[in-house]
């Protein structure tokens, strides 16, 4: 039976030096979504079911467009952080890096497409 120090047992499982930042990033985006989701629902509700012209006229106003864009950005950032935690906990090796990189590209790309769509409606 080999004697292993605490450090040797924790090798590769120790602190990555970014856990606190990641934790607070998730908490801040959660609180932001607690505020933005109801605002988005109440600002998007009047435009729901309208014609294309009515929706473009509605999103031409700055407040609904800004709320929709902020909700899109914060929601995809929060989704990406949560997916990263999930992958870091359950996937290891090269697939961990591939999945995190792929989902980061996908979530930022989807947020960019959403913000572009809102900008096209607004302008």
Q: How far is residue 44's CA from residue 66's CA, in Å, rounded to a whole number?
A: 11
What pLDDT, on a 0 to 100 scale, did the predictor assign at position 15? 62
Check: CB of residue 38 under 8 Å from CB of residue 86.
Answer: no
pLDDT digits (tens, 9 = 90+) for 104-114: 999 999 999 99
CB distance 121 to 69 below 8 Å: no
| Residue ranges covered by each domain of the chain | 21-122
Q: What is the CATH architecture of 21-122? A: Up-down Bundle (1.20)
pLDDT tens string 43-85: 988 889 999 999 999 999 999 999 999 999 999 999 999 999 9
């Amino acid at each position: 039976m080999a004697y292993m120090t605490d450090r040797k047992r924790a090798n590769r499982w120790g602190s990555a030096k970014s856990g606190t930042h990641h934790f607070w990033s998730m908490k801040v985006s959660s609180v932001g979504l607690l505020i933005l989701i109801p605002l988005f629902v109440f600002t998007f509700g009047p435009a729901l079911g309208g014609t294309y012209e009515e929706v473009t006229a509605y999103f031409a106003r700055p407040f609904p467009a800004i709320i929709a864009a902020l909700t899109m950005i914060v929601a995809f950032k929060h989704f990406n952080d949560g997916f990263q935690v999930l992958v870091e906990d359950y996937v290891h090796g090269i697939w961990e890096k591939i999945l995190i990189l792929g989902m980061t590209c996908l979530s930022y790309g989807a947020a960019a497409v959403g913000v572009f769509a809102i900008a096209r409606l607004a302008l």
